[in-house]
Chain A
Amino acid sequence: MKAMLQTALAGSARQAMETTETGTPVDDLTAGLPEGEAERKLLLAAGAARVYLQAGKLAQSGGVRPDRAAEERLPVCSRQSAQLIETFLCGRHGYLLPEALERLARSGYRLPHTLLPRALSVVRPDVRSAIVAVLGERGRWLSQFNPQWHWVQGALMETADASLEDAERLWQDGTPGERRAAIRRVRMAQPDMARAWIAAVWRQEKADFRVELLNVFEHGLSHEDEPFLEATLDDRSANVRERAADLLAYLPDSALVVRMRARADLLLDYSPPPPQRLKNLMRSVFGGAEQSGTLTVQPPDQLDKAAQRDGIVPKPPEGLGERGWWLTQMLARVPPAHWERRFAAQPAQLVAAAARDEWGMAVIEGWSRAAALHRDGNWALALWERWSDIDKKTPHYHQVATSILGSLVALLPQTAAADIIRRPLSGGQDFQPHIWKLIFMSIARPWSADLAQAYIEKLKDQIRKDRSGVHQASIYWWCVPDVVACVLPPQYLREVQGLWTEEELRTRDWLHHFVETLHAREQIWKEIPL
């Protein structure tokens, strides 16, 4: 056979034909061929040998097989919900996946096996964490075979059934994502052990990853962690130092908080409003402002090494003076409740007093960041007003307002959040669309009937303006419905849809999108009942 192939390759004109034997029983057949051209004989022998070998093809023998997947413990979801989820997985309304998957998980079902490859291929982090709960045994088993699906191992770490042995294995030789998940798992169960593991590898890790490791301390933060975090304030990376300082600031009465409080106490002083009988007189002279008392602000002149070690960044962002910037950072690491005690005053009074000082915005930003860090809802309410009429402020504060309004709303229970946005919603102060979007995203879900109703009223108002040409509502609101459609209770669908004419629904893409989203959510609620 080999000799034949060599002849055929080189050409029988160059290399004399030695044999047309193939070493198979086919040779008996070719032997019977009439004498003729050698080339023809070679071709026929090759053709017959090929059929012979094709017919004689044998299976290979086995090697290692994968272990079997465990039996499923959850029932498979209905065909209808599977089809709905498949649609979302294919890109249509992908942002509805978290809600749909969460409902599926809460009602105790899993995805059908046939959807698993597609489900495992999602990339959005919020979808991934929702998918883990509905993968079932099969999905977890399947994820081991494709490196792109290994994120599941990490995500599984965060569920209660992950064992500490698995976590240790991943911590030793997993990808950065898996290691992060593993150490988080350990931290939940045994905070001290997690700290010891982190401390053991601390020096070898890159700065970015050290920041991520510090984030792990958020869970179960305690005074046991203080010595490690305090030492971390000497880290070579500024980002690491800053994160460590945030964590220490969160620990009541940590050495850092004590130091920072001492610094801050030198910066602020407050005198309460005069007693009632003087008020009327003063009001006639100065106007109504003095009711909240007076805050005296003395921003730092210098920044010493010790303050920098505590995470104060010397260089201000563009458009901001050094002193105000240092002031903000120092206040940001002091629990806001401290000022209530020290000055025996309500947050609203202090904030109002601060607003009148020339350093007022620096103080208010510091307090706002402190309120967010300490999740202080009382302060959030007081601070909200100051940020909500931010339009006249400098570009820096305008930018800060955008993120701070969202984070303040997130501190509030929904009823309180609904209360404070009602005024701007009902036509008083108004925000730019991107701020609305952030606010809507930050409010706790699902929306109450009250809030939904307030939103719909606002929408009606906008539509009226839009139709009378007063206001470019279609542009103004374009990004908001997209977010709202994901949080509005589905029973409001009909009402919202009825606000527009057929023509409007058909000709505006964003509107179409909005209504489609509501419909998709209505389907989710119908097909995946809780």
Chain B
Amino acid sequence: MELTTEQVLALAPDAASASAGKKLANPRSWKSLGQSTEAVWGECQGSALYQVRVDVRDMTTRCSCPSRKFPCKHSIGLLLLATGTSEGLPQGAPPDWVEEWLGKRAVTAAKREERGTSRTKPTEADPVAQAKRADKRLSLVKAGLDTLDLWMNDLIRSGLASVETQSATFWEREAARMVDAQAPGIAARLRLIAGIPNATPDWPERLLAELGRLALLTHAFRRLDALDPAMQEDVRQLIGWSLKEDEVVARGEAVRAEWVVLGQWVEGEERLRTQRTWLISADGVRTALVLQFSAVGAPLPQMIVPGTCQQAELVYWPGAYPQRALLKERTGNPAPLAARLPGRVALDDALTGVAQALGRQPWLDRFPFVLADVIPVPHEGQWQIEDQTGARLPLTRGDHWRLLALSGGAPVDLAGEWNGTDLLPLGVVVDNAYHPLGDTYT
């Protein structure tokens, strides 16, 4: 186990789990403890005896407790114990209940692999019926977008000032109509737009800009045949033709490389949460975004630990500027990054990268930044970072004390997510050591 305490704590789903995990990170809470090259395990005495195991190759955890949080406090406690005590856990052969679980995982992985190869062509019963369904959806979407365009034109006609007094149902009604028209991507955009009015002093400008981008999207859809194939993929995905994972694997670009996990954060409300993880290839050439969704209580499909690097195969969703990817296969154990961040650039270069990306896919919203030698500057209400050329960008609202503590006024390498307005710091590298700057710490 080579992870740092911070990395383990960053895995916790919330601050409460992190602190509950810390309480369990003492040998007294455990009946048995052990580790092998593949796994760590332990039996934790809670209201019952819980069996906790972690596959260290992909940091997947499994606990017999009924907790709806994932990973649960027992798993966090076990990992802290494995990384935090001077002697580590006793080496040994895994007991049956660990061996069994590892075995099951291997079988599932093999099955998935098999399914992946044998189902390169989906076994669709009736290609004719399938084509018919596709046609039907296409005309539904077309009709839906027509009404959307009329609705937006009406908005401009009656004036954006009028929406100031509209309730949320005004937007929700239109969003629901887009769901009925089988254009869930448009519905999601409308729901985001609903949050703009009155949110900031410049909301009319932002509202007009976002409605404008939506208009560009429906415009592009009408001219779909004239677009190049990659752009067609983007437009279809943006409107709501989502791809299944095996479709992505079949059609997307696969990149096998050493990937460095730049950082991650979780967005979304209580019920459905989206974990956003940014990665960069060790040669600094490609970046990728892995999204994982979980309803409350359901585990994330995969544990991806910020600040680690691992040999893996990623497959990108097809598009003009591929950004989102799925983690198809990982080989070897994740190792902590013990070097500066690959692909780091100055602020101007990062912004130029944004311009180039938007030139290829104008609906992109967020971008990974890997910045070289920046200095955090605390400033009342709005922190900034400054690079070696003296250029500055604002950081996300709030305080960034850990970042400041780690930099000490000296330049550091910073990974973050840029949303066009400010930068959300996700991880920092100081003296070749990575420190996560995730939610658990703010």
Contacts and interface: CB of A to CB of B under 8 A. Distances in A.
B408 A10 contact: no
Contacts of A145: 378, 401, 404
Contact of A83 (B5, B152, B401): B5
A43 B156 contact: yes
Contact of A51 (B213, B384, B430): B213
B358 A55 contact: yes
B162 interface: yes
Contacts of A285: none
A284 interface: no
Contacts of B402: 114, 117
Interface string B140-171: 00000000010011101111111000000000
Contacts of B214: 43, 47
A49 B355 contact: no
A83 B26 CA distance: 11
A142 interface: yes
B282 interface: no
A135 B28 CA distance: 30
Interface string A29-68: 0000000010110111111111100111111111111111
A527 B86 contact: yes
Contacts of A64: 377
Q: Which of A46, A90, A113, A516 has the most CB of B within 10 A?
A: A46
A87 B420 contact: no
Name the prevailing secondary structure of the B interface residues. helix
B1 interface: no
Interface in B113-162: 149, 152-154, 156-162
A66 B351 contact: no
A388 interface: no
Contacts of A50: 209-210, 212-213
Contacts of B162: 11
Interface string B398-437: 0101101110111000000000100000000010000100
A11 B375 contact: no
Contact of B215 (A14, A43, A83, A90): A43
Given A8-B208, A58-B351, A79-B84, A43 B152 contact: yes
Interface stretch (B174-182, B236-244, B300-308, B387-395): B387-395
Contacts of A87: 22-23, 25
A91 B22 CA distance: 11
Contacts of A46: 208-209, 211-212, 215
Q: Which of A49, A51, A61, A516 has the most CB of B within 10 A?
A: A51
Q: Which of A55, A69, A79 has the most CB of B within 10 A?
A: A55
A301 B105 CA distance: 92
A461 B26 CA distance: 31
B108 to A, nearest CB: 34
A61 B387 CA distance: 10
Q: Which of A60, A64, A139 has the most CB of B within 10 A?
A: A60
A61 B216 CA distance: 33
A82 B204 contact: no
Interface in A78-92: 78-80, 82-83, 86-87, 90-92
A138 B158 CA distance: 58
A24 to B, nearest CB: 13
A58 B348 CA distance: 7
Contacts of A117: 401-402, 405
Nearest to A4: B208
B153 A40 contact: yes
Given A43-B153, A50-B213, A87-B22, A114 B391 contact: no
A5 interface: yes
A138 to B, nearest CB: 5
A69 B216 contact: no
A11 B210 CA distance: 17
Contact of B157 (A4, A5, A11, A55): A11
B347 interface: yes
B393 A60 contact: yes
A278 interface: no
B355 to A, nearest CB: 4
Contact of B392 (A40, A47, A59, A80): A59
A474 interface: no
A9 B161 contact: yes
A59 B358 contact: no
Contacts of B213: 47, 50-51
Nearest to A92: B23
Nearest to B152: A43
B362 A51 contact: yes
A51 B364 CA distance: 9
Q: Which of A8, A42, A68, A146 has the most CB of B within 10 A?
A: A8
B19 interface: yes
B219 interface: yes
Q: Which of B26, B156, B348 has the most CB of A within 10 A?
A: B156
A14 B159 contact: yes
B215 A47 contact: yes
Nearest to B28: A519
A312 to B, nearest CB: 52
Contact of B401 (A79, A80, A92, A146): A146
Interface of B: 4-6, 19, 22-23, 25-26, 28, 80, 84-86, 149, 152-154, 156-162, 204-205, 208-216, 219, 347-348, 351, 354-355, 358-359, 362, 375, 377-378, 384, 386-387, 390-394, 399, 401-402, 404-406, 408-410, 420, 430, 435
29 contacts: A9-B159, A11-B156, A12-B156, A39-B157, A43-B208, A47-B212, A48-B212, A51-B358, A51-B362, A54-B354, A59-B387, A60-B391, A61-B391, A62-B390, A62-B392, A64-B377, A66-B377, A66-B378, A68-B409, A69-B409, A86-B5, A113-B405, A114-B435, A139-B405, A141-B408, A145-B401, A146-B399, A516-B28, A520-B26
Interface of A: 4-5, 7-14, 37, 39-40, 42-51, 54-69, 78-80, 82-83, 86-87, 90-92, 113-114, 116-117, 138-139, 141-142, 145-146, 516, 519-520, 523, 527
Given A45-B212, A59-B351, A516-B28, 20 more contacts: A4-B208, A10-B161, A50-B213, A51-B358, A54-B420, A55-B354, A58-B348, A59-B393, A61-B390, A62-B391, A63-B392, A65-B409, A66-B377, A66-B409, A86-B5, A92-B23, A114-B406, A116-B405, A141-B409, A142-B401
Nearest first, the 6 closest Cβ-Cβ pairs linking A and B are A11-B159, A47-B212, A46-B212, A59-B391, A50-B209, A69-B408
